[in-house]
């Protein structure tokens, strides 16, 4: 309850004076599903009435003798509207206020205030005008925050099922998926929308955007549209062309900031950005950008989820194809500007697309990772998932680029002495798996069918539906290209030209496939490969198989080879031959760490005909687990101390030098708890006991990390979910 501030437009006599205004915070927050978003201000949702109680001094209050008007302000914009009886005819498309029957009493009145369903999102100021035929008083009542309303059918972000609202709006905890499509790894994330300061940071993000700074009135007016909100927020999560939240880094050191893999929640990132005067937080990569955007959108009231695309293409030239080049011994070359990311993470937001036809309503891709620009800003979307599935590449926004991310062709070329000696076109590997966290579960939900392989539109579509063949012709997939590099394969030239007629298509009589035995390899164990060669011809063949392994980042081409082998083989007509090479732990011990990815390729050459076949596979390496246990279980009470036990046992055949076990948890620990050992011998355990105390409810994460070599190598990283309830 607040005492009002006021200015008078006339004498006090004859006009009741406002004494107190009660924003009925608890009742409104429960009614509007905004509990926990802010302790110090009223947060409500558009299109739904919220309650105010006005108490006056002195004279007996009567709505019949004293006219009340409310006025809302958003920046320089304002709207004034009378307080009316609940039975009056009201315009649902404008602000309105009513007095419910039986809620008047001698000292005051209860007022229900309701905004239109498409009202702009933001922080509003509220004033009260009290008038009689002779006098008028004006009172500044305070501020409130207005958000989108996914519970309201008239709101474009309406989501009908409560179980989905719980998952995609209320839930402050998520599960991200990384690694590879053959070895999916889980990474918990705390969205943290109920953490102190997060709501304020999200509102500031809108207020420092270039759109707002260039024309605040236009920006405020546009904020009623979730398409506009998502485009502004998407661009503001990265700092490439504005005062955005995160600075990305994919190579080099991270000494000037936080390594992207060290983040486990959005709240710390958003608070650091807001408290630093909007200086970018260092550093982010795709899953960090996406998770922070998901937090912002859930705070604003737009249902959102984080989605992982495995084998995501980055098509720089817009031809919906990605070219890859390999030597004749299986080494992948860094010759193409295009790339395939082992995984890429973006956001889907739920909304009706009032700017498009109804078939494009529903989930929309919004990607804040700064890859390409859209209307001059680094962002992508919102793009309807349905437009990607139906290949409607002209639908707004950025559909062609996002379509290529999930469905581009991969053209793999083998080169020797600067000439093409083999080629395959893979139409299946990009977008092999697309998934998100399941509703009410940490398991992945497979979304691939909603992006790929669905029913294609048969009729002409106003936004342009293209077949794969039409896209290839329009984008010039089979055109002559010249490539420059520093590579020399067997004394080949450093600058050379490849054309389609340099070599024929791959011999269809020789097939090769590559996989890893036993799923994803565990760090410390041998990586056992399985190469399968099929001779589809009627002649025996003398072959040589070259296998090459390169470490790579998830979003870039691989580094130098760290392991290679070759093996002669003979295969009879129509025979299937299996080779089982292995990369021993001693051969990769000083190269790979936990969370690293290996590019393995095999080139099989027919010694008589010189025909070649190629297969490639990217492998993510699993880490040994760190044990995290909380006394009394993983459901704890606020403001009550608990103890957590963290332990790691060295599973390797060699000691770990400079071993460091660190524990942190936003909302549970102040800072980082660390224990160090000069050497951790094989089979020995390293332990740390920490005291945790939660001051806010919700889902929190304890994160334990084991490094060695003075922090240069990550051996393991484990997460533990803690549910905090009010005492």
The backbone region for 361, taken as left when phi is positive above 0, alpha when psi lies in -120 to 50, beta otherwise, is: beta
Of 202, 239, 286, 294, the catalytic one is: 286
Judging by DSSP bridges, how do beta strands 642-649 and 685-692 pair with one another?
Answer: antiparallel
Confidence of residue 59 (pLDDT cuts 50, 70, 90): low
pLDDT more than 70, % of the chain: 87
Q: Is residue 344 annotated as a catalytic residue, yes or no?
A: yes
CATH class of 627-725: mainly beta
Locus of tokens 């070219």? 323
CATH class of the structural domain 2-147? mainly beta
Q: pLDDT by residue (tens digit) across 433-452?
A: 999 999 999 999 999 999 99
**In 3-state terms, what secondary structure has residue 388?**
helix
Q: Residue 163: is it exposed, middle or buried by C-beta count within 10 angstroms (0-12/13-18/19+)?
A: exposed
Range of lowest pLDDT (22-26, 346-350, 377-381, 516-520): 516-520
Q: Which position among 32, 212, 344, 720 bears the catalytic label?
A: 344
pLDDT, one tens digit per residue, over 213-227 is: 999 999 999 999 999
Q: How many CB atoms sit inside 10 A of residue 265's CB?
A: 26
Average confidence (pLDDT) over 657-670 = 92
Torsion of CA 522, 526, 527, 531, to 10 degrees: -150
Bridge partners of 363?
350
Q: Which of 219, 145, 485, 437 lies closest to 333, judged by CA?
A: 485
- Would you say 295 and 173 are in contact if contact means Cβ atoms under 8 Å apart? no
Would you say 636 and 694 are in contact if contact means Cβ atoms under 8 Å apart? yes
Catalytic residue among 367, 398, 407, 596: 367
Given this chain, do its domains 2-147 and 506-620 carry the same CATH topology?
Answer: yes
CATH number, domain 506-620: 2.60.40.10
Summary mean pLDDT of the chain = 87
End-to-end CA distance of the chain: 25
pTM of the predicted protein model: 0.86
Two tokens, residue 499? 């054309």
d(CA 140, CA 138): 7
Rounded CA-CA distance 62/39 in Å is 33
pLDDT at 501 > cutoff 60: no
pLDDT of amino acid 552 = 84
Rg of the chain over Cα atoms, rounded to whole angstroms, equals: 30
Q: Are 500 and 480 in contact (CB under 8 A)?
A: yes
Q: Do the beta carbons of residue 688 and residue 673 sit within 8 Å?
A: yes
Look at residue 642 in the predicted model and tell me its pLDDT. 93
What pLDDT score does 56 carry?
84
Report pLDDT for 104: 61
Residue range 317-346: mean pLDDT, rounded: 89
Taking the mean position of all CA atoms in its chain, how far away is CA 142?
35
More confident residue, 518 or 461: 518
> 359 with 424: CB under 8 angstroms?
no
Check if 428 is active-site. Answer: no
Quote the pLDDT of residue 105. Answer: 66
313 token code pair: 């293409």
Tokens 């390729």 belong to residue: 601
> What's 162-308+343-390+434-474's CATH class?
alpha beta
Q: For the segment 447-470, what is each residue's pLDDT rounded down to a tens digit?
A: 999 999 654 433 334 445 555 554
The secondary structure element, H or E, covering residue 204 is helix 198-207
Q: What are phi and psi of 552, to 5 degrees?
A: -150, 155
Lowest mean pLDDT among 263-272, 405-414, 515-524, 556-565: 515-524
User: Element (H or E) spanning 263, and its range?
Assistant: none
Specify whether the CB–CB gap between 43 and 147 falls below 8 A.
yes
In angstroms, the CA 231 to CA 300 distance is: 13
pLDDT confidence bin for 106, thresholds 50/70/90: low
Q: Beta 304-314 vs 339-351: how paired, if at all?
A: antiparallel
Please report the pLDDT score of residue 478 as a whole number.
Answer: 34
Q: Is 367 one of the catalytic residues?
A: yes
Tokens, residue 245: 């939240």
C-alpha span between 552 and 599 (Å, rounded): 7
Residues 108/55, Cβ–Cβ less than 8 Å:
yes
What confidence tier does 200 reach under pLDDT thresholds 50, 70, 90? very high
The domain ranges of the chain are 2-147, 162-308+343-390+434-474, 506-620, 627-725
Give pLDDT, residue 508: 62
Minimum mean pLDDT range among 110-114, 131-135, 319-323, 651-655: 131-135
Say how far apart CA 256 and CA 493 lie, in whole Å: 40
Short-list 586, 596, 584, CA closest to 654: 586
The answer to whether residues 233 and 212 touch, using CB atoms and an 8 Å cutoff, is no
């Amino acid at each position: 309850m607040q005492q009002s501030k006021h200015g008078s437009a006339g004498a006090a006599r004859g006009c009741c004076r406002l004494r107190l205004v009660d924003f009925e915070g608890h009742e409104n927050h429960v009614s509007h599903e905004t509990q926990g978003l802010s302790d110090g201000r009223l947060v409500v949702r558009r299109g739904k009435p919220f309650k105010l109680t006005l108490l006056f001094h002195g004279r007996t209050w009567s709505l019949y003798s004293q006219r009340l008007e409310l006025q809302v302000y958003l920046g320089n914009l304002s709207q004034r509207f009378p307080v009316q009886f609940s039975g009056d005819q009201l315009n649902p498309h404008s602000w309105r206020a009513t007095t419910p029957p039986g809620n008047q009493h001698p000292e005051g009145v209860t007022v229900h205030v309701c905004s239109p369903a498409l009202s702009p999102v933001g922080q509003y100021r509220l004033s009260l005008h009290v008038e009689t035929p002779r006098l008028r008083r004006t009172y500044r009542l305070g501020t409130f925050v207005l958000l989108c309303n996914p519970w309201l059918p008239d709101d474009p972000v309406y989501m009908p099922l409560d179980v989905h609202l719980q998952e995609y709006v209320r839930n402050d905890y998520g599960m991200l998926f990384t690694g590879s499509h053959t070895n999916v790894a889980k990474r918990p994330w705390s969205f943290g929308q109920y953490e102190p300061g997060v709501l304020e940071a999200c509102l500031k993000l809108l207020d420092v955007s270039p759109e707002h700074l260039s024309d605040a009135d236009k920006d405020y007016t546009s904020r009623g549209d979730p398409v506009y909100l998502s485009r502004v927020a998407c661009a503001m999560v990265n700092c490439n062309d504005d005062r955005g939240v995160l600075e990305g880094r994919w190579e080099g050191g991270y000494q000037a900031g936080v390594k992207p893999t060290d983040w486990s929640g959005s709240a710390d990132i958003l608070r650091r950005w807001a408290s630093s005067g909007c200086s970018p937080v260092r550093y982010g990569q795709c899953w960090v950008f996406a998770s922070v955007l998901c937090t912002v959108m859930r705070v604003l009231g737009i249902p959102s989820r984080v989605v992982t695309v495995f084998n995501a293409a980055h098509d720089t030239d817009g031809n919906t194809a990605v070219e890859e080049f390999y030597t004749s011994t299986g080494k992948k070359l860094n010759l193409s500007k295009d790339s395939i990311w082992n995984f890429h993470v973006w956001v889907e937001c739920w909304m009706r697309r009032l700017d498009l036809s109804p078939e494009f309503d529903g989930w929309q891709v919004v990607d804040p990772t700064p890859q390409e620009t859209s209307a001059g800003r680094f962002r992508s979307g919102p793009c309807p998932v349905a437009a990607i599935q139906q290949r409607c590449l002209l639908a707004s926004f950025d559909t062609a680029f996002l379509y290529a991310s999930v469905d581009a062709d991969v053209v793999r070329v083998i080169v020797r002495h600067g000439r093409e000696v083999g080629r395959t076109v893979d139409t299946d590997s990009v977008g092999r798996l697309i998934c998100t966290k399941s509703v009410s579960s940490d398991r992945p939900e497979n979304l691939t069918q909603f992006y790929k392989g669905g029913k294609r539109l048969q009729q002409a579509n106003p936004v342009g539906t293209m077949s794969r063949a039409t896209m290839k012709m329009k984008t010039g997939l089979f055109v002559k290209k010249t490539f420059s590099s520093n590579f020399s394969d067997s004394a080949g030239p450093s600058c050379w030209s490849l054309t389609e007629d340099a070599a024929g298509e791959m011999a269809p009589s020789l097939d090769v496939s590559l996989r890893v035995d036993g799923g994803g390899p565990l760090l410390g164990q041998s990586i056992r490969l399985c190469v399968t060669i099929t001779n589809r011809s009627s002649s025996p063949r003398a072959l040589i198989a070259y296998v090459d392994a390169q470490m790579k980042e998830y979003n870039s081409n691989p580094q130098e080879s760290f392991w290679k082998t070759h093996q002669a083989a003979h295969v009879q007509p129509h025979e299937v031959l299996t080779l089982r090479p292995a990369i021993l732990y001693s051969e990769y011990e000083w190269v790979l760490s936990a969370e690293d990815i290996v590019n393995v390729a095999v080139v099989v050459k027919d010694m008589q005909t010189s025909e070649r076949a190629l297969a490639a596979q990217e492998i993510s390496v699993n880490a040994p687990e760190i044990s995290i246990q909380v006394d009394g279980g993983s459901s704890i009470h606020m403001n009550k101390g608990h103890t957590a036990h963290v332990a790691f046992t060295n599973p390797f055949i060699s000691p770990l030098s400079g071993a460091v076990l660190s524990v942190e948890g936003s909302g549970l620990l102040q800072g980082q708890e660390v224990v160090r050992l000069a050497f951790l011998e094989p089979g020995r355990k390293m332990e740390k006991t920490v005291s945790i105390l939660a001051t806010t409810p919700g889902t929190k994460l304890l994160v334990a990390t084991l490094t060695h070599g003075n922090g240069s190598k990550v051996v393991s990283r484990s997460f533990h979910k803690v549910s905090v309830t009010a005492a």
